[in-house]
């Protein structure tokens, strides 16, 4: 039996698929020959052994002259090689997608691009009619209210014509297009010869979040000043008010001069336009510019695009590199709601298993908000630094195990959303959700970090974002809300990063408060798991207003350099020489000591909206909280009639009619008593009645007479000595049932008891029933 098992193992261990590396084939073929010879001499009854299926997962290693079997690493099972079809973007099945892939060259300007100097501060005038002008591009079609399915390439039917057709070669109408990966353009209207009004599509299956734009323009004319106006932006403030410029990419300029994305625009304005969208005021972004070439194909964008296809092209390049692939393993974290692969990268130097367990982990994520493309460029800089040949990169790989999730929301990236996934919800508010099928990426990330915390120390977690309302780079951290329990250690890493990037990073813009509304974010949720250094790194869409880079935009080179500085700061943070750490700690202790001298509330409170922490990316996600769009629609179909409360059921139509008649009428109570000051409010009047009632009840109880409010006689004769001090001048004690009905000094009934729309004055001889 032992021989048969060994024979089966030898027979089924040496077969390889077509995509195995040649070097692995050569090494394993050398082991195959002696192993098969040994198997042939072990048993003569080979015909009785049923052959097992061939496998590529068992390989042999020579250890001390013996062939030791082991399982092959599942590199090709999860990687890009041999499975390119699995990495193609999947679209919602009703979505129209133009054929072909959009590609841009990588380029950075030789000098920092300045902010816009010609700001248009004049008031934007709304056209007399919203239908003014000719519609030249329109993709407003009937679409599903929630996600139902996906496929590669989107809609199966033929592509509809969204743009107008040119009448001839002299027609100067621009041809717009936005139905490509990460594109966003809903409608374009020509309101002048060279003046166009544009509308952006909201996040899919929502009515919110219009910020990200990325579209194509053809049939351009050089030397002509065009004006573009986006009319349905929803944010109250924007960095366009402070000099941010849109981006332009010209295919002719890239082919002839090698110039890629660059900033363009004059007379930039961002102002309220008087229109409404979903009961929210709309704002217009307007700018003028010139195209560089005639009959050119150009692209305009809010920030440097980085698509799902760009990510997989970069990962495929890493896997094909034999040197970098030794340190970086690409695996699949999960599949998104639309079925797109979500890659997770493990970067570390090969080491023995015992050494790997003792290595602390560093977890980095990006693009949970699809429109924050600058976070992908920062992640790209981190990855390129870690896989580089520098001694610092090798030291980081030796010291840590890096887990990188470069794109947490691939579905939103593909369709061109700004903030939400295909559920119509913000993923960065659902880290604590139990709906695994609706939010698979954040659920898998939370589970991965939780398992890492069980097996090793997680030194740091950082979620990369972009910010649309503040300059510079800064972080949001987590610390105990009680002042007595705060420690400066959680602020050391951001302070070190600010010292390494003095021209980009602003430590004064960092916040470390944990708000209740942020409990579902990755930063707070993983901090609750025990990751003390849990941050959100915010990078401005615009640029810097500090240091030598003041008044300039960020480029892709700046963003990648920020990623490299992040890794360098990690080395300083963990340096065995604690000189830098101690210096930062002393500086932070002084800062916190100064903060302690300011008036601080004893209880933690939420910060106001003015510090821009109401949203980690400068956008409000309160509208996207709640269940996913498809579950919300299902609840509407299956919801029952709402039951009324007992108070609502007991409210008679007569009372509701009387309340409707008295709606808007104010009653002023003026009660005069010779022994007390005047009462001018209903509450004082009721207190006056209740005081008399309680005083009378206590007097009757003390004298042994307690008939209750309903059995009390109308008038009770008591000895003069047993009467209360206030009633010794009279011989009659008022009935308890009459006390709350009105004040006996003015003989007026209370509106509370009278139940009438008109006030009546009670006669002096009025006797109420004893059982009232």
Residue of 731, 708, 408, 540 whose CA lies nearest to 115: 540
Beta bridge partners of 543: 553
Contact (CB, 8 A) for 197 and 279: no
Catalytic residue selected from 538, 648, 659, 684: 538
> What does the H/E/C string look like for 7-60?
HHHHHHCCCCCCCCCHHHHHHHHHHHHHHHHHHHHHCCCCCCCCCCCCCCCEEE
* Torsion angles phi and psi, residue 463, rounded to 5: -105, 125
Three-class secondary structure of residue 682 per DSSP: helix
Instruction: Write the DSSP symbol of residue 746.
Output: T
Question: How many residues are recorded in the chain?
Answer: 772
Instruction: Write the DSSP symbol of residue 551.
Output: T
Residue of 425, 438, 509, 431 whose CA lies nearest to 473: 509
* Structure tokens belonging to residue 198: 């544009």
Distance CA 404, CA 396 (A): 14
Which residues fall within 8 angstroms of residue 690, CB to CB, at 6 or more apart? 740
Distance CA 120, CA 265 (A): 11
* Helical H segments across 501-628, by residue range: 522-528, 556-573, 579-597
Contact (CB, 8 A) for 177 and 213: no
Q: Is residue 538 among the annotated active site residues?
A: yes
Hey, how many other C-beta atoms are within 10 angstroms of the C-beta on 631? 16
Distance CA 2, CA 9 (A): 11
- Report in angstroms the alpha-carbon separations of 46 from 1, 12, 43, 735: 12, 14, 7, 114
Distance CA 416, CA 434 (A): 26
Hey, how many other C-beta atoms are within 10 angstroms of the C-beta on 196? 21
Distance CA 407, CA 616 (A): 18
Distance CA 281, CA 522 (A): 31
Distance CA 514, CA 482 (A): 11
* Structure tokens belonging to residue 95: 């979505």
- Which secondary-structure segment (H or E) carries 384? helix 374-386
Contact (CB, 8 A) for 558 and 471: no
- Report in angstroms the alpha-carbon separations of 314 from 308, 422, 737: 10, 25, 86
Hey, how many other C-beta atoms are within 10 angstroms of the C-beta on 603? 7
Beta bridge partners of 511: 476
Residues annotated as catalytic (active site), given as ranges: 538
């Amino acid at each position: 039996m032992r021989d048969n098992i060994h024979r089966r193992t030898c027979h089924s261990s040496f077969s390889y698929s077509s995509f195995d590396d040649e070097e692995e084939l050569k090494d394993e073929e050398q082991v195959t020959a002696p192993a098969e010879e040994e198997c042939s001499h072990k048993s003569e009854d080979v015909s009785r052994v049923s052959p097992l299926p061939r496998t590529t997962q068992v390989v042999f290693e020579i250890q001390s002259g013996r062939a030791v079997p082991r399982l092959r690493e599942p590199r090709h099972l999860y990687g890009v090689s041999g499975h390119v079809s699995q990495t193609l973007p999947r679209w919602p099945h009703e979505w129209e997608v133009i054929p072909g892939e959009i590609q841009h060259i990588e380029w950075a300007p030789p000098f920092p691009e300045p902010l816009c100097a010609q700001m248009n501060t004049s008031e934007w005038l709304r056209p007399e009619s919203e239908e003014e002008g000719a519609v030249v591009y329109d993709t407003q079609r009937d679409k599903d209210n929630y996600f139902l399915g996906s496929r590669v390439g989107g809609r199966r039917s033929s592509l509809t014509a969204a743009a107008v057709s040119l009448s001839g070669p002299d027609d100067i109408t621009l041809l717009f297009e936005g139905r490509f990966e990460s594109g966003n353009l809903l409608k374009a209207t020509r309101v002048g010869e060279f003046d166009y009004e544009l509308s952006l599509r909201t996040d899919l299956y929502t009515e919110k979040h219009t910020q990200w734009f990325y579209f194509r323009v053809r049939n351009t004319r050089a030397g002509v000043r065009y004006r573009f106006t986006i009319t349905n932006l929803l944010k109250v403030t924007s960095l366009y008010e402070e000099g941010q410029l849109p981006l332009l990419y010209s295919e002719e300029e890239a082919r002839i001069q090698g110039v890629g994305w660059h900033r363009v625009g004059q007379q930039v304005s961002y102002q309220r336009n008087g229109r409404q969208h979903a009961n929210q005021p709309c704002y217009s972004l307007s700018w003028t510019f010139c195209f560089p070439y005639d009959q050119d194909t150009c692209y305009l964008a809010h920030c440097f695009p980085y698509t799902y296809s760009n990510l997989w092209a970069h990962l495929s390049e890493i896997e094909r590199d034999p040197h970098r692939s030794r340190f970086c393993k690409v695996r699949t974290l999960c599949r998104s709601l639309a079925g797109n692969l979500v890659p997770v990268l493990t970067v570390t130097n090969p080491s023995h298993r015992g050494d790997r367990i003792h290595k602390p982990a560093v977890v980095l994520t990006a693009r949970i908000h699809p429109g924050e493309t600058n976070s992908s460029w920062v992640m790209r800089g981190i990855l390129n630094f870690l896989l580089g040949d520098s001694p610092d990169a090798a030291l980081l790989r030796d010291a840590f195990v890096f887990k990188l999730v470069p794109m947490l929301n691939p579905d939103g990236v593909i369709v061109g959303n700004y903030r939400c996934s295909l559920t119509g919800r913000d993923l960065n508010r659902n880290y604590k959700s139990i709906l695994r099928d609706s939010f698979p990426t954040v659920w898998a990330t939370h589970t991965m970090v939780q398992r890492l915390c069980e097996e090793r120390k997680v030194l740091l977690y950082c979620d990369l974002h972009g910010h649309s309302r503040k300059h510079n780079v800064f972080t949001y951290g987590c610390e105990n809300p009680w002042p007595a329990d705060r420690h400066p250690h959680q602020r050391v890493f951001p302070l070190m990063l600010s010292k390494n990037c003095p021209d980009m990073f602003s430590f004064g813009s960092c916040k470390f408060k944990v708000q209740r509304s942020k409990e579902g974010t990755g930063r707070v949720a993983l901090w609750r798991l025990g990751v003390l250094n849990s941050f959100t790194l915010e990078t401005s869409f615009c640029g810097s207003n500090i240091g030598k880079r003041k008044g300039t935009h960020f480029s892709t080179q700046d963003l990648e350099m920020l990623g490299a500085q992040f890794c360098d700061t990690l080395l300083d943070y963990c340096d065995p020489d604690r000189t830098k750490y101690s210096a930062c700690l002393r500086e932070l202790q002084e800062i916190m000591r100064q903060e302690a001298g300011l008036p601080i509330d004893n209880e933690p409170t939420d910060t106001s909206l003015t510090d821009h922490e109401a949203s980690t990316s400068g956008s409000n996600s309160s509208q996207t909280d709640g269940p996913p769009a498809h579950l919300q629609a299902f609840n509407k179909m299956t919801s029952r009639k709402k039951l009324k409360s007992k108070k609502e059921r007991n409210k008679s139509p007569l009372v509701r009619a009387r309340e409707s008649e008295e709606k808007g009428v104010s009653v002023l109570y003026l009660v005069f008593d010779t022994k007390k000051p005047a009462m001018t409010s209903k509450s004082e009047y009721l207190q006056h009645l209740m005081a008399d009632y309680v005083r009378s009840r206590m007097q009757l109880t003390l004298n042994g007479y307690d008939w209750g409010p309903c059995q009390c006689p109308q008038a009770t004769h008591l000895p003069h000595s047993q009467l209360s001090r206030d009633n010794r001048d009279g011989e009659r004690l008022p009935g308890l049932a009459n006390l709350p009905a009105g004040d006996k000094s003015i003989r007026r009934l209370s509106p509370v008891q009278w139940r009438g729309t008109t006030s009546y004055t009670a006669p002096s001889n009025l006797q109420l029933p004893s059982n009232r």
